[in-house]
Amino acid sequence: MTTWLAIVGVGLVTLLTRASFMLFANPHKFPHAFRVALAFVPPAVLAAIVAPGLFMPEGTLDFSFDNLRWTAGLAALAVAARTRNAVATIYMGMAILWALQWTLR
């Protein structure tokens, strides 16, 4: 029972802090530098989610070219730089990873 109370309590605190920021803060009154910095939050979060899967597939850092995920990630980065399209980047990155796995393993 105490575990569930802790889960509900943490959920409520999270909800209230996020809701208070959205309900009571006027984003037009934020300093310009803060609004510019907020534009970098989604890419930073995405990088934090993706990077461990690319660089640590076995649980330890692996920057060798034997790590096919890292190699496919480099190719996906090139696709992203060329097309500026997230969906194309994901499709090509996965296709390259699967092709590398099929041909090299």
Q: pLDDT tens digits, residue range 26-57?
A: 777 888 998 899 889 888 998 899 899 889 98
What is the number of structural domains in the chain? 2
Residue 26: left if φ>0, alpha if ψ -120 to 50, beta else—which one?
beta
46 and 94 belong to one structural domain: yes
Confidence at residue 103, expressed as pLDDT on a 0 to 100 scale: 94
Using alpha carbons, select from 57, 90, 88, 93 the residue that is nearest to residue 75: 93
85 and 62 belong to one structural domain: yes
Confidence at residue 6, expressed as pLDDT on a 0 to 100 scale: 95
Judge whether residue 21 has pLDDT over 80. no
Residue ranges making up the domain that contains 35: 1-39
In the structure, what pLDDT confidence band is assigned to residue 22 with cuts at 50, 70 and 90?
confident
95 and 49 belong to one structural domain: yes
